[in-house]
Amino acid sequence: MPTAGEGDDADDRQRSALMAAAQAGDRDAYAAVLRSSIPVIRATAVRLGVAADAVDDVVQETLLTIHRARHTYDPKRPFIAWLRAIAKRRAIDVIRHDSRRRGREVDGQHVADEQPDPRPTPSGVAEQASDARRLRGVVATLPRSQRDAVEHLVLADRSLPEAAAATSRSQGAMKVNLHRAIKSLRTRLGG
Amino acid sequence: MATPHAADDHLIDRLCAELTPVRRTRSPLAYAGIWLVFVVISALALAPFADLGAMARRLAAAPEMWLAVVGSTLTAVLAAIAVLQLSLPDRRPAWAWLPMPAMALWVGASGVGCLRGLVVPEAHAADWAEARLCLAFIIGFSLPLSLLLWRLTACGFPLRPRRTTALTGLASAAAAATLLNLFHPFDLAALDLLVHVAAVALVIAANASASGRRFVTGMA
């Protein structure tokens, strides 16, 4: 009966063979090795302390990096070490990115307390309609990636996973694109 | 509502659709060899323009200069090997320490030479004009060496771009400093040492700052 270590070695040899086949262009092998890598990536992210809502970002970023770096894998070396190194680096990137983003965010309650009465007056309704038309016009001038982020996340009020699936982008990319779009809109609208 | 696993499946399907065969990257030592051959060719190309006799006499008169030349040469070789090892994702980060002992030898031997200049009256120390030429040589020669090493590093996929490109700067600056010995008629003095250190630091900093988004991380 094989020991746990021998089982891990066998798994790694199998993944190594699949990755070698993927390097030669075998799409079925590539799909198999990517799917089998997801639990390892998740475990690496959790072990490094990535927030639960950011683990999916780590998975997506790692899969993208595997795709870009696939030519660097040497089938004579352990696949798991190569995979874990990439997953670890992407997890650290996500942790740092989230940390910087949280440092820029303002406390929601504090902002809400300082806002004026939001109920519109009759003249205010017409002004809001004009503002909405102007906003849609400016959104249309944004780069495609930023426009998608605004349209899916803000105007259509979709969740992050839904928007990411609809646009074939990672959730991390959607967040960054939304942030850039808001910055662009502020500049263009003079706010 | 799409689940996270559906998003993963969608991404995997997209990556598989984009899959094309790739040629595996070569061994880091092979790429290091290419770079070192280029450095040797540069030295051979410069040799006809150098006063090799004066260089030999200077090295004979100042034995610590041999150690400094050995130190800068080893730093260049080992830093290049370290850079190319680190261009592969599964290589240990500790490779970055490989050139450090040689760098310590280079700096230490250069420092001893500097002290010699203080006690040997006939030692010819560089003035500001000559020191500026040394600075320009190291920085100028580091540029093509850095560009070639960057190109070779891009055959891999470094996960720590800033560290990799800083080491690229160290390898290139050390190689340029070694080549400078062909044209360096001065005994090493404090000004010379300062200029060498400044030149090497500038090259390393320029490489590190240029790493930027050179290697796409996927964080759009």
pLDDT of amino acid A47: 95
- Closest Cα partner for B175 from B109, B102, B117? B102
pLDDT at position B47 is 81
Percent of the residues in chain A that have a pLDDT greater than 70, as a whole number: 82
Rounded to an integer, the average pLDDT of A147-172 is 80
pLDDT band at B153 (very low <50, low <70, confident <90, very high): very high
Mean per-residue pLDDT, B9-23: 95
Q: How confident is the model at residue A122 (pLDDT cuts 50, 70, 90)?
A: low
Average pLDDT over residues B203-216: 65
Which residue in B has a C-alpha nearest to residue A54's C-alpha? B4
pLDDT in tens, B100-139: 999 999 888 877 766 665 555 555 555 667 777 777 888 8
> How high is the ipTM of this complex?
0.80
Q: How far apart are CA A170 and CA A162, in angstroms?
A: 11
The whole-angstrom separation of Cα B33 and Cα B39 is 10
**pLDDT value of position A59:** 96
What is the model's pLDDT at position B211? 65
Q: Is the pLDDT of residue B186 over 50?
A: yes
| Probe site for chain A from B14, B15, B20 (most A CB atoms < 10 A) | B15
Contacts of B8 in chain A (CB under 8 A): 38, 56, 59-60, 63
Q: What is the pLDDT of residue B119?
A: 52
Chain B residues within an 8 Å CB radius of A46: none
Model pTM score: 0.71
Question: What pLDDT is attached to residue A146?
Answer: 84
What number is the average pLDDT over the span B49-68?
Answer: 75
Residue B217 confidence (pLDDT): 41
Q: How confident is the model at residue B184 (pLDDT cuts 50, 70, 90)?
A: low
Give the pLDDT confidence score for residue A72 in this predicted structure.
97
A173 and B219: CB-CB below 8 Å?
yes
| Chain A nearest CA to B25, separation (Å) | 5
User: What distance separates the 2 farthest-apart alpha carbons in chain B?
Assistant: 83
Q: Which residues in chain B touch residue A37, judged by CB atoms under 8 angstroms apart?
A: none
Report, as an integer, the average pLDDT of A136-156: 81
Q: The tokens of A86 are what?
A: 């990439």
Summarize pLDDT for A56-103 with one digit per residue, the tens. 999 999 999 999 999 999 999 999 999 999 999 999 999 988 887 777
Average pLDDT over residues B165-191: 78
pLDDT at B209: 77
From A22, A38, A67, residue closest to B8, measured CB to CB: A38
- Express each pLDDT in A18-55 by its tens digit: 999 999 999 999 999 999 999 999 999 999 999 999 99
**Of A68, A77, A168, which is closest to B157 when you measure between CB atoms?**
A68
Q: B78 vs B131, which has greater pLDDT?
A: B78
Residue B150: pLDDT over 60: yes
Residues of A in contact with B14 (CB under 8 A): 168
Nearest to B218 among A64, A85, A177 (CB): A64
Asked whether residue A186 carries a pLDDT value surpassing 80, the answer given is no
pLDDT value for B214: 46
Q: Mean pLDDT, chain B, as a whole number? A: 81
**A179, closest residue in chain B (CA to CA):** B220
Q: How far is B19 from chain A (nearest CA, A)?
A: 6
